[in-house]
Amino acid sequence: MLFSFVNLLYLGAPAFIWNSYRSTLKKSSVPVYGPWYLPTFVRGIIAMIRLGQDEDGFLLSARKVYGPVVYLPWPLDQIFVLEGQAIQNVYNSSASTLSFIPIRISMQGAVFGSPANVIHHSALKDRMFPVHARGLTNVRLDAPIERFVQVVQQRISELAYRVDHCDGCFQMPLVSWVTQTMFEAATIGLFGEEFNARMVATGSRDHFNAFDNCFPLLVSELIPDFLSSLVPPLRSGIRGRQAITKLLADWVADSMPGLEEGVIKDTADIGLSEGFSFMEIGSLLNSDLWALQANAPYVAAWFLLYIMQSPLLPAVQKEIDSLPRDGVSENPLITMKTLASMPLVTSCMHETLRLCTSSFSIRVVEESFVLPTPSSHDQYPQEYLIPGGSRIICATRAAHLTDPIWGPDPATWDGERFLDSKSNTETGGNKLSREVRGFGGGVSICEGRHLASAELKCLLALMLSNFDITPLFPTQGRGPPLTSEASKIGIKGASKTGIAPSRALGRPGLGAFQFDGSDVIVNVTRKATS
Ligand code: HEM
Ligand SMILES: *[C@@H]1O[C@H](CO)[C@@H](O)[C@H](O)[C@H]1NC(C)=O
Ligand SMILES: *[C@@H]1O[C@H](CO)[C@@H](O)[C@H](O)[C@H]1NC(C)=O
């Protein structure tokens, strides 16, 4: 009540007055999180702490207590949307009601450190963003995927060599192998060999990780710049960001050796033609590097972990075995086209994204509007009045775990969930798969989703074509002791509970779940030839 009143004063939007006048009886205002007797800022602080400490617990209980929509007061000051249909309605709204570009621009400054003259330059919005979106569509991905495949094949031959030289079996930490391989292959895929070589030579993956670790702090914009050097993770994160930006800047200054064409080159060329400095271009390219690497390597690890421990493994193997062969290497032939022909693998991928991501799609509410929440149960209103001037966050994780469409056991991985006779692999899966929003949605949907999907399927196909991998035991990370539930995953039809490393916490809404340094030791042997 207080909230909508304040916003009313604050904006005085005529449309809002008109709307609320028209239907005060029908449309409900958004409930405010926390016990009513506490001052709103205390309720906001409680929400923020809970979200940071136990994201799932927070989202699930908020959904249960408040329904599909809840307002989290300052310091978050955001309206959370927690239900699939309502999230879809947010995604469907026009940019004049719910905008995203201002958020993308301010993140480029606050998180990636691009200076004001760059983020407010019209070229960003008018030239760079569109070129960027086009550069990552399916038709432009053949070359990056070809480079990606080459690197993965190389790493696989190295692994095969090790297996052959230790009596036919080799134990290794799976997650660390997968994330390292994905990181390198994707860097070469999008930025080319030379840039990757420079990253390796300067130990820049550590810089990347330091930056990535402080991402939640940077994106929250809770710590003002002048204090950032006093907060240790922020200090080293910004140092890491600086090192990567410089590495990118020098590479651009040297005319981007090792990269002939593609989205990275196009983006840098626009920067050059607008007269941006090399460091400014480096700060822009750093956002590409981050988007490329902050999610996909971890999803790849989850993907393998689930499939490996699922009774669907033989069926997945069969699907991979029926890919056309690459005459020279005996490996499956991996192209954007062949990757599109694996319905079970695609279904497993959607299911993995459902369970191992938490994505926040953020919008600025430009003008008040009514958000329909049709599929909520009767105890909650069917529509909510969202006041102009507020901010909305679609919390996809809540929908992924609580929408009734997932059935009675939503936390269990079911790789066949998205498989049906109507499934259409050309358009990326069947109708139910649209309810998975690990890539966000609407105007802010992940531009790299086609590339990411191809990477995931490619790694899986090449691994399973060459090796039998058996999980042995999880290793201890920085988190609570291994006996905790954190290292268990539920897999449909499996005779025992699956094992996984434990999740790193404190990254709410940042996409794929990363790990807390723990891993799963696997036994790798050459694939038994059939
Ligand atoms: C499985 C891996 C990935 C996941 C789960 C993921 C997830 C996401 C999410 C949740 C968003 C924000 C969506 C929203 O606000 O609604 C996003 C944005 C973005 N992603 Fe990804 N992503 C992945 C891989 C990639 C890759 C490989 C690239 C390649 C460069 C990429 C490029 C981008 C870009 C450029 C954006 C920003 C789009 C914008 O601001 O309009 N992503 N991603
Ligand atoms: C959103 O828009 C799409 C395409 O315009 C439409 O197919 C879909 O039904 C809409 N969804 C909702 C929930 O309104
Ligand atoms: C790994 O697999 C090989 C071949 O199946 C087997 O002989 C070996 O005992 C396994 N090692 C462990 C530690 O389970």
CB 426 within 8 A of CB 340: yes
CA of 129 to the centre of ligand 1 (A): 13
Burial of 176 (0-12, 13-18, 19+ CB in 10 A): middle
| CB proximity list for 227: less than 8 A, separation 6 or greater | none
> What type of residue sits at position 100?
F
| Domain boundaries along the sequence of the chain | 2-118+354-411, 132-344+444-469
Give residue 326's pLDDT. 82
pLDDT at 97: 94
In angstroms and rounded to an integer, the radius of gyration of the C-alpha atoms of the chain is: 24
**Pick from 188-202, 218-232, 321-335: least confident:** 218-232
Asked, as a colleague might, if the bond just before 75 is cis with ω within 30 of 0, I would say yes
Give yes or no for a contact between 391 and 363, defined as CB atoms under 8 angstroms apart: yes
Q: Is 468 in the pocket of ligand 3 (CB under 6 A)?
A: no
DSSP letter, residue 407: -
Give the binding-site residues of ligand 2, using a 6 Å CB cut-off.
85, 88-89, 92
> Distance between CA atoms of 530 and 520, rounded to whole angstroms?
27
Are 383 and 68 in contact by the 8 Å Cβ rule? The answer is no
Atom of ligand 1 nearest to the CA of 443: 41
Cα 419 to Cα 437: distance, rounded to the nearest angstrom: 17
Average pLDDT, the chain: 90
3-state secondary structure of 392: strand
Q: Going by CATH, does the domain composed of 132-344+444-469 fall within 1.10.10.2160?
A: no
Identify the residues whose C-beta falls under 6 Å from ligand 1.
Answer: 104, 288, 291-292, 295-296, 299, 357, 359, 361, 438-441, 444-448, 451-452, 511-512
CA 188 to chain centre: 20
Ligand in nearest proximity to the CA of 133: 1
| Assigned token pair, 283 | 């700060």
- Measured by CA distance, the residue closest to atom 12 of ligand 2 is 89
Q: Please state whether the predicted TM-score (pTM) of the whole model is above 0.75.
A: yes
Using the structure block, give the residue that is written with the tokens 């990275």. Answer: 264
Which residues have CB under 8 Å from 319's CB, separation 6+? Answer: 342, 343, 344, 345
Confidence of residue 428 (pLDDT cuts 50, 70, 90): very low
Kindly indicate the confidence band of residue 17, based on its pLDDT and cuts at 50, 70 and 90: very low
Q: What is the pLDDT of residue 31?
A: 96
User: What is the average pLDDT across 201-228?
Assistant: 88
Cα-to-centroid distance, 481 and ligand 3 (Å): 26
Give every CB contact of residue 51 below 8 A, 6+ residues apart in sequence. 58, 59, 72, 76, 508
pLDDT tens digits along 353-410: 999 999 999 999 999 999 999 876 668 999 999 999 999 999 999 999 999 999 999 9
The whole-number pLDDT of residue 377 equals 67
The confidence score (pLDDT) of residue 221 equals 76
CB-based contact 426:397 (threshold 8 Å): no
Which residues line the annotated binding site?
446
- Residue 21: count of CB within 10 angstroms of its CB: 8
The residue contributing the CA closest to ligand 2 atom 2 is 92
Hey, which of 267, 446, 451 would you mutate to test ligand 1's pocket, going by the most ligand atoms within 8 Å of its Cβ? 446
pLDDT band at 231 (very low <50, low <70, confident <90, very high): confident
Annotated binding site for heme: 446
Percent of the chain with pLDDT over 90: 79
Can you tell me the distance from the alpha carbon of 344 to that of 358, in angstroms, rounded to the nearest whole number?
23
> Which of 171, 523, 525 best tests ligand 3's pocket when mutated (most atoms within 8 Å of CB)?
523
| 3-state secondary structure (DSSP) of residue 114 | coil
Which pLDDT does position 331 carry in this prediction?
A: 87
95 CA → ligand 2 middle, Å: 15
* Residues 212 and 294: beta-carbon distance below 8 Å: yes
Which one is predicted more confidently, 223 or 473? 473
Among the residue ranges 298-307, 328-337, 405-414, the one predicted with the least confidence is 328-337
CA of 369 to the centre of ligand 2 (A): 17
Give the pLDDT score at 376: 63
Phi and psi at residue 224, in whole multiples of 5°?
A: -65, 150
Structure-block tokens of residue 269:
């060329």
- In terms of phi and psi (left: phi > 0; alpha: psi -120 to 50; beta: otherwise), the region of 493 is left
Give the number of the ligand closest to the Cα of residue 168.
Answer: 3
Between 18 and 432, the more confident residue is: 432
What pLDDT is attached to residue 378? 67
pLDDT at 165 over 60: yes
In angstroms, how far is the first alpha carbon of the chain from the final one? 68
